[in-house]
């Protein structure tokens, strides 16, 4: 209890004292409080409210910064679960507490190291924000380093996969979706937001709204143009959305609708892991293999960091071999 009280006093004084003064204050508090015993009753009071308040303030800050509701939901559930399990004031959470939580979570949930590192990353963001806002003296996540994860080679669609999917689309809408995803590399969330008016058929381009409400231009090929035009002409509804459901009242197609459609098509054709995001990875890999500068691929996909683009694309080993002979000998 004494240690916790000292931490709270230091937190209150952090904005008034420099590092040397804080060190002297720490020594004085240790000396004066030595041997004293306090009741835990005051410390436990409003513990639950404190945990909720910090979490709510952080979520509000993230919402103001423009985080998507999906990300905010992930932040909130992860942080709330940690605070519930640790069951102690936020200011008293230590590095050892968080290491223990991550180790126990990994053991019990049987999840991947990638998932554990995602939790670590969210906790780092949360406690760094608390530190920046002067709610805590120092983030306890600072000494918890990035968790090493094995590199998994993710699949892309082969040319044969794409042609088989195209040939087996019974609905012209699905054919247009496959071609648009394949030629632009847009996210499925960007696809379902598109309206007919957003498509510039003359320039074969459209503006999509990506993460953080950022807009960018994407481009499609002649084949996609023809299939899109054929699909729009076949429509009998007045919905402004580019893609709508097949049954009345023909509402705007949502993300899950596209994912389910792609997954069912993959099962029918015995193609492994057919989902919208795989088109995005396929485009990045194909573009880099054909010599497109990585910076342009980054812009095309709407990535903020080039490292993300590099994670998407797999470099063809044959191209590495040819480049070695060309540049090295």
Question: Among all residues, which ones are annotated catalytic?
Answer: 187, 211, 277, 280, 303, 312
CA distance 208 to 211: 10
CA distance 68 to 318: 39
Tell me the two tokens of residue 45: 């009071």
Dihedral sign, Cα of residue 42, residue 45, residue 47, residue 50 = negative
Alpha helices, H only, 33-150? 41-44, 47-64, 69-86, 95-109, 113-132
CA distance 265 to 295: 33
Number of H helices and E strands in the chain, helices first, is 16, 3
Helix (H, G, I), strand (E, B) or coil at 241: strand
- Residue length, the chain? 329
CA distance 232 to 243: 9
Residue 242: CB atoms within 10 A of its CB come to: 25
Q: What is the dihedral of CA 267, 273, 275, 281, to 10 degrees?
A: -150
**b/e string for 75-105 if b means 16 or more Cβ within 10 A?**
bbebbeebbeebebbbbbbeeeebeebbeeb
CA distance 72 to 294: 30
Element holding 209 (H helix, E strand): strand 205-209
Listing from the earlier edge strand, what are the strands of the sheet with 205-209?
A: 199-200, 205-209, 215-219
């Amino acid at each position: 209890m004494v240690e916790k009280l000292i931490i709270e006093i230091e937190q209150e004084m952090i904005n008034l004292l420099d590092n040397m003064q804080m060190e002297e204050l720490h020594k004085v508090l240790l000396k004066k409080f030595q041997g004293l015993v306090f009741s835990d009753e005051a410390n436990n009071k409003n513990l639950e409210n404190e945990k909720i308040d910090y979490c709510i303030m952080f979520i509000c800050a993230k919402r103001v910064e423009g985080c998507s509701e999906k990300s905010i939901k992930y932040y909130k559930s992860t942080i709330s679960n940690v605070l519930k399990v640790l069951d102690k004031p936020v200011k008293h959470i230590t590095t050892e507490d968080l290491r223990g939580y991550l180790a126990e979570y990994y053991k019990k949930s049987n999840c991947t190291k990638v998932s554990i590192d995602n939790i670590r990353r969210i906790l780092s963001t949360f406690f760094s924000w608390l530190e920046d806002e002067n709610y805590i003296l120092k983030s306890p996540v600072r000494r918890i380093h990035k968790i090493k994860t094995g590199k998994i080679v993710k699949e892309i669609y082969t040319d044969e996969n794409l042609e088989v999917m195209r040939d087996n689309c019974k609905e012209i809408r699905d054919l247009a979706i496959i071609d648009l995803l394949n030629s632009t590399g847009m996210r499925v969330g960007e696809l379902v937001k598109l309206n007919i008016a957003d498509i510039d058929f003359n320039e074969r381009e459209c503006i999509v709204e990506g993460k953080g409400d950022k807009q960018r231009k994407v481009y499609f090929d002649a084949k996609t143009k023809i299939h899109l035009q054929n699909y729009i002409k076949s429509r009998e509804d007045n919905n402004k959305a580019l893609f709508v459901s097949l049954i009345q009242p023909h509402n705007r197609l949502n993300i899950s609708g596209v994912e389910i459609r792609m997954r069912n098509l993959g099962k029918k054709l015995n193609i492994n892991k057919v989902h919208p995001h795989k088109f995005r990875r396929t485009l990045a890999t194909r573009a880099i293999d054909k010599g497109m500068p990585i910076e342009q691929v980054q812009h095309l996909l709407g990535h903020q960091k080039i490292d993300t683009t590099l994670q998407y694309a797999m470099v063809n080993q044959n191209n590495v071999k040819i480049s070695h002979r060309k540049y090295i000998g």
